[in-house]
Structure 1
Amino acid sequence: MSLDRTPVSARVLDEAIAWQLRLGDHAASMQLDAELQRWLNQSAEHAKAWAQLGGIDRRLGTINSPSARRALQRNAATKRQHAVSRTLLGLVLLGSLGIGLALQARPLPVWLADASTGAGEQRSLTLDDNSRIQLNSRSALDIHFDERRRGLFLHQGEVLVETAPGSDPRPFIVETAQGDLRALGTRFIVRREGNATRLIVLRSAVAAHPDDGQTGRTIGAGEQVLMHRNRLGESSAAPIAADAWSHGMLVVDDLPLGELLKKLGEYRRGYLGLDPSLESLRISGSFPLHDTDWALAALPPSLPVRIERHTDWWIKVVPAEPAAVPSK
């Protein structure tokens, strides 16, 4: 049976993720199972959200597996025991990596942006027209409302936009270096990806217009498109739970392991690398963003990898060590 990928409401997705985390934090019990079943029976949308998250996790068994939970618990204990040591090591690494960090410094327009976030930070804002936006990690945008239009300019990163209901005649437009995205009473995500902009529409529709002036196209709910300065790519289905990051979760479906680490790297500082021999591995699952160490600890129970940790600022995912050959 194919999985229904159409978006669910933000409220229901939030509740499904809360249930997932609750089950991961508690031992199985008849009472907890009964409470979950009552929630699932309340509406078809509850069941769909649970299927979207749970269907992915069953293929990987990461956060919800007992071995993963033990790994996360061990990781948390280690963090408490070595907090002072990590701080000192981080200060030493700050000096040794000074040049590398300088090279990663944000451009001036990002420093001067009206709203921005650092690594691992998210920020929610209510705009003058009561529209709501949420900035993801390492994001920056300018806000410009006047008598003609309501405008945002996304310099970098990712923003979730939910336009306010009402009769404001001014168009709501999100701009990037690649073009304009005009909201048509909607909820959507805009993400800068190198020299392109990704649009993911969660509700209603958005009119996308590349910067070179060619004819644009309307992207509907449940669709995504990659916009370049001179063209729009083909529309495709939006990722499952594309806005899960706004609830503190990262949900991936058959993603290359290197891409997962790249996404997790947006929520932490320092180096997070992958051994080249592991580039063919793919992964599905849901991972907490509030503590990326937890997410990394969930990898070894399901994949042939181990986490090589020099300091909190220098981490690499490498092949699991081969089993020792018994001596004769």
Structure 2
Amino acid sequence: MSSAERLPESIVCSAIEWQMRLRAHAGSPELQRQLQDWLYQDRRHQLAWQRLQQMGGLFQSSQLPDAAQTIPLLQRAEADLGRRRTLKLLGLGLAAGSATLLATQTPPAWHADFSTATGERRRVGLVAGAEVVLNTGSAMDVQGDWLLLRTGEALVEGQAWQVRCRFAECRGRDARVVLRERDNASEIRVERGEVVVSTSGGERRLLAGDGVSAAPSGLSVLGKGPLDPFAWSRGLLVVSDIRLADFLVEAGRYRRGWLGCDSAVADLHLSGVFRLDEPGMMLDNITHLLPVQIIEHTRWWVRVVPVA
């Protein structure tokens, strides 16, 4: 990528939007994952982000307001001098240096035996004695007779199989199971059959309907919860009395960009069946179930707010 390459203003604005999102939600693993998705869509995204990071102190000193105020400003044609200065510097390019992208690490999925992109579900077929379906943003390896879930979520079923998660090993017998990696725990939920879950602290036998969370502190029982953990394998998001904020976190796994809500509506509850392959309709349906409206700053930044 040439350091002198001129970039479209739309891409530059998007890069600045991502900077604002990271400022507003520092330390969010989900936001970091979404940023990586955006970066790898187009090499120009990476170049814009690299230039923005190289600017470093200049961007910090431009005294931009918070994200909610900054993004509309950046999208207006007649923006302030600070924005035009930033766009000019980014568009003309800066000297190539040792600065790198914030997300320099290659995503785990790129090196995995099987993987899915954001919003993708993939039936892997029969591997290591199991039929496997990967959910959105997931990666899995085959290591001899073992499957290794590196990230994301997988449905595993078969007569006899073995899966390693981050915090547990699972051995299934005539079992159908969903395994999901979260930031600090591995979740295992059994729909059919028998599964033995092993950790450094011991073993536990699970039967149909059981679920556990494996963490460094040990195993804990998972209750039913507001989310059907198996519905995604049928292309559905099925929820029962779930908080709107929690629903949006789950729905956000299946689309690129940021999806969130105003604190005034975060604790509203909803139930329903939503199609994962129709993310736009999914959000529209929310407005029929709750007194909310959808605000799209860009296609990558969607916010649910109270009805005006």
> How far apart in 1 are the matches of 2:9 and 2:289?
30
TM-superposition CA deviations, 1:93-143 (whole Å, max 9, x none): 544446562556775533211111111011111134562100000111111
1:187 to 152, 176, 181: 176
Q: Does 1:221 align with 2:216?
A: no
Q: Following the alignment from structure 1 to structure 2, what is the Cα–Cα distance between the partners of residues 120 and 95?
A: 22
Task: Mark the runs of 5 or more structure 1 residues left unpaired by the alignment.
Answer: 1-87, 166-170, 322-328
Give the secondary-structure state (helix, strand or coil) at the position aligned to 1:205: strand
- Alpha carbons 2:226, 2:241 under 8 Å: kept: no
Q: 1:282 aligns to what?
A: 269
Show the counterpart of 2:134.
135
CA distance, structure 1, for counterparts of residue 264 and residue 226 of structure 2 = 27
- Tell me the secondary structure at the aligned position of residue 294 of structure 1: helix
Give the TM-score taking structure 1 as reference length: 0.62
Contact 1:120 1:266 in 2 (8 A): yes
Of 275, 282, 286 in structure 2, the residue corresponding to residue 295 of structure 1 is 282
**4+ aligned runs moved over 3 Å, structure 1:** 88-100, 102-110, 235-241
Alpha-carbon distance in 1 for matches of 2:214, 2:249: 21
Alignment partners' CA distance in 2, 1:205 and 1:134? 19
Q: CA deviation at 1:236?
A: 3.3
CA deviation string 1:228-271 (max 9, x = no partner): 12311025347674311111110011111111101111111111
Provide the residue aligned with 1:161 in structure 2.
156
SS in 2 for 1:201: strand
Matches of residues 105-254 of structure 1 in structure 2 within 5 Å? Answer: 108-128=107-127, 131-145=130-144, 150-163=145-158, 165=159, 172-210=161-199, 213-237=200-224, 241-254=228-241
C-alpha contact 2:188 2:211 (8 A) present in aligned 1 = yes
Letter matched to residue 187 of structure 1: R
CA contact (8 A) 1:90 1:312 kept: no
Partner amino acid, structure 1, of 2:219:
L
Against the structure 1 CA distance between its residues 237 and 265, is the aligned structure 2 distance closer, same or farther, given a 3 Å change threshold? closer
Identity across the alignment (%): 34
Q: Return the alpha-carbon distance in structure 2 between the equivalents of residues 190 and 237 of structure 1.
A: 15
Check conservation: 2:166, 2:181, Cα contact below 8 A.
Answer: no
Against the structure 1 CA distance between its residues 89 and 200, is the aligned structure 2 distance closer, same or farther, given a 3 Å change threshold? farther
Q: For residues 15-67 of structure 1, give each alpha carbon's deviation from its aligned partner in whole angstroms, at most 9, with x where no partner exists.
A: xxxxxxxxxxxxxxxxxxxxxxxxxxxxxxxxxxxxxxxxxxxxxxxxxxxxx
The alpha-carbon distance between structure 1 residues 295 and 89, as it changes in their structure 2 partners (threshold 3 A), is farther
SS at 2:286 equivalent: coil
* CA shift in 2, pair 1:192/1:106, >3 Å: farther
Letter in 1 for 2:273: S
Question: The residue matched to 1:278 in structure 2 has which SS?
Answer: coil
Match of 2:56 in 1: none
**Paired residue secondary structure (1:233):** strand
1:46-61 counterparts in 2 under 5 A? none
Q: Are the structure 2 counterparts of residues 89 and 221 from structure 1 closer, same or farther at C-alpha, using a change threshold of 3 Å?
A: farther
Distance, in Å, in 2 between the alignment partners of 1:196 and 1:303 is: 32
Q: Indicate the SS of the match to 2:289.
A: coil
1:306 aligns with 2:293: yes
Of residues 91-100 and 237-246 in structure 1, the stretch that sits farther from structure 2 once superposed is 91-100
**Residue-by-residue CA offset, 1:137-188 (whole Å, 9 max, x unaligned):** 011111122xxxx21111111000011x4xxxxx622112211111122110
Matched, 1:269 2:253: no
- CA gap 1:223/1:288 in 2 versus in 1, 3 angstroms: same
Unaligned runs of at least 5 residues, structure 2:
1-7, 23-34, 37-101
Measured in 2, the distance between the counterparts of 1:178 and 1:110 equals 19
SS of the residue 1:202 aligns to: strand
Deviation at residue 195 of structure 1 after TM alignment: 0.8
Summarize the alignment of residues 309-324 of structure 1 with structure 2, pairs less than 5 Å apart: 309-321=296-308
Report the Cα distance in structure 1 between the residues aligned to 2:281 and 2:10, rounded to whole angstroms.
19
